[in-house]
């Protein structure tokens, strides 16, 4: 996909591009109050506010609807910021275009639905309005790329991907698991699609927002979309994760920004040495994994002989607890060890079920 760089349509861009504004537009006064504050923060180039809010359960605030679009137009004229909102169907697109919204974004629940994406793609055809696409709520990179492709096929070349984290089956400290490897893989496959981190929806809690922002900078993401509200505790949606404009200013000022390459020869040399060390360790690690798999296969054969199931949950639980404890004593986070062993164990079960079905034949 031949995607236009952000600086071709966003003026005076400095990295990171910052998109700020409330989760939801609640009233003209609330929208204008946030906009008047964030326009004075140098990095903020785009104002955000949700007009139509896709809520997980009915009975909560679902947005003010089209009534709020003139408020965004007012923000644009008064502050000079570009304005953006979420669209989830063709009618939202029509309404947003009618009110001169500069940038549209597609929410995580919508990205998960190809029919909805196609409807939006058909509605923006011929406009070349920038469209930013959030990752789907489920861990499915193909669905995320598919949404970008549907828009591209309808002539949209100004796009960015927004990394907002993924639904977690279990409760974690994050509202949505960041799974950094997914946006990193997107960047590897499509290096010219800018990636904007949404630390607010990843964190779910304002105290975690700064660390997520820093991590996004450390993995070289291009921008940040941060929910900002003058009175976060009384926000009509996502109250726990929004921050005030003054916290936003402080957060941005405290970020440590990095570049991808350095001209410092000593640094490059040191990095090469450490990388060679990693290469050797990974080589050993793979050999150990191969040895482990050989034992797994022997167990599979023994189980097949005695008609024992490949998956034995109690064994899995004991193993996990033991490895997490050992990992922790070595300074490795239990979440990391749990995720790692889930992958290792899943492959072991797969291998053993294959052995069992081969035996039957």
Torsion of CA 11, 14, 16, 20, to 10 degrees: -50
Element (H, E) at 99: none
Question: Binding to Mn ion (CB under 5 A): which residues in 207-246?
Answer: 238
Q: Does 213 bind ligand PEP (CB under 6 A)?
A: no
Choosing from 134, 163, 175, 187, the residue that interacts with ligand PEP (CB under 6 A) is 134
Least Å distance, CB 108 to ligand PEP, is 4
Q: Report what 45 binds from Mn ion, ligand PEP, none; CB cut-off 5-8 Å by kind.
A: none
Instruction: Give the DSSP letter string of 104-146.
Output: EEE-HHHHT-HHHHHHHHHHHTTT---EEEEPPSSS-HHHHHH
How many Å apart are CA 151 and CA 1, to the nearest integer?
A: 10
Q: Does 136 bind ligand PEP (CB under 6 A)?
A: no
For residue 12, CA distances in Å to 3, 15, 20, 221 come to 19, 10, 16, 18
Q: Of 291, 337, 345, which Cα lies nearest the Cα of 353?
A: 345
Least Å distance, CB 14 to Mn ion, is 25
Q: Does 201 bind ligand PEP (CB under 6 A)?
A: yes
Cβ neighbors of 182 (< 8 A, separation 6 or more) are 135, 139, 141, 144, 163, 166
Least Å distance, CB 30 to ligand PEP, is 15
Choosing from 17, 20, 23, 46, the residue that interacts with ligand PEP (CB under 6 A) is 23
In the bound state with ligand PEP, the residue whose beta carbon lies nearer, of 116 and 304, is: 116
Q: Report what 92 binds from Mn ion, ligand PEP, none; CB cut-off 5-8 Å by kind.
A: none
Q: Mark residues 306-335: x for contact with ligand PEP by CB under 6 A, - for none.
A: ------------------------------
The tokens for 275 are 């990388």
Choosing from 20, 108, 123, 133, the residue that interacts with ligand PEP (CB under 6 A) is 108
Q: Does 50 bind ligand PEP (CB under 6 A)?
A: yes
Stretch that binds Mn ion, among 19-27, 39-47, 102-110, 286-294 (CB under 5 A): 19-27
Cβ neighbors of 276 (< 8 A, separation 6 or more) are none
Pairing of strands 195-197, 82-86: unpaired
Judged by the rule CB under 5 A, the positions of this chain that interact with Mn ion are: 23, 238
- Where do contacts with ligand PEP occur on this chain (CB under 6 A)? 23, 50, 54, 107-108, 134, 164, 198, 201
């Amino acid at each position: 996909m031949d995607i236009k760089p952000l600086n071709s349509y966003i003026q005076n861009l400095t990295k990171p591009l910052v998109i700020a504004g409330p989760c939801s537009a609640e009233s003209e006064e609330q929208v204008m109050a946030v906009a008047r504050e964030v326009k004075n923060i140098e990095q903020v180039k785009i104002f955000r506010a949700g007009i139509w809010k896709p809520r997980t359960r009915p009975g909560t605030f679902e947005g003010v609807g089209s009534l709020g679009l003139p408020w965004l137009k007012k923000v644009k004229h008064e502050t000079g910021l570009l304005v953006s909102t979420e669209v989830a169907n063709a009618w939202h697109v029509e309404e947003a275009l009618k009110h001169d919204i500069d940038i549209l974004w597609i929410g995580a629940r919508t990205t998960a639905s190809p029919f909805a994406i196609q409807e939006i793609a058909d509605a923006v055809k011929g406009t070349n309005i920038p469209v930013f696409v959030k990752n789907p709520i489920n861990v499915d990179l193909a669905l995320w790329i598919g949404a970008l492709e549907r828009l591209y096929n309808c002539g949209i070349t100004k796009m960015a991907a927004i990394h907002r984290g993924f639904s977690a089956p279990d409760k974690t400290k994050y509202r949505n698991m960041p799974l950094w490897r997914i946006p990193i893989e997107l960047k590897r496959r499509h290096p010219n699609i800018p990636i904007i981190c949404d630390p607010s929806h990843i964190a779910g809690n304002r105290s975690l927002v700064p660390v997520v922002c820093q991590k996004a900078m450390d993995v070289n993401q291009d921008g940040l979309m941060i929910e900002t509200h003058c009175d976060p505790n009384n926000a009509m949606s996502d109250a726990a994760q929004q921050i005030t404009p003054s916290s936003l200013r402080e957060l941005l000022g405290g970020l440590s920004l990095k570049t991808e390459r350095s001209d410092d020869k000593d640094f490059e040399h040191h990095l090469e040495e450490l990388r060679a060390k990693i290469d050797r360790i990974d080589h050993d690690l793979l050999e150990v994994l191969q040895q482990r798999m050989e034992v797994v296969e022997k167990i599979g054969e023994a189980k097949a002989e005695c008609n024992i199931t490949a998956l034995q949950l109690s064994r899995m639980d004991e193993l996990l607890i033991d490895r997490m404890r050992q990992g922790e004593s070595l300074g490795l986070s239990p979440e990391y060890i749990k995720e790692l062993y889930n992958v290792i164990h899943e492959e072991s079960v797969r291998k053993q079920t294959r052995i069992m079905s081969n035996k039957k034949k």
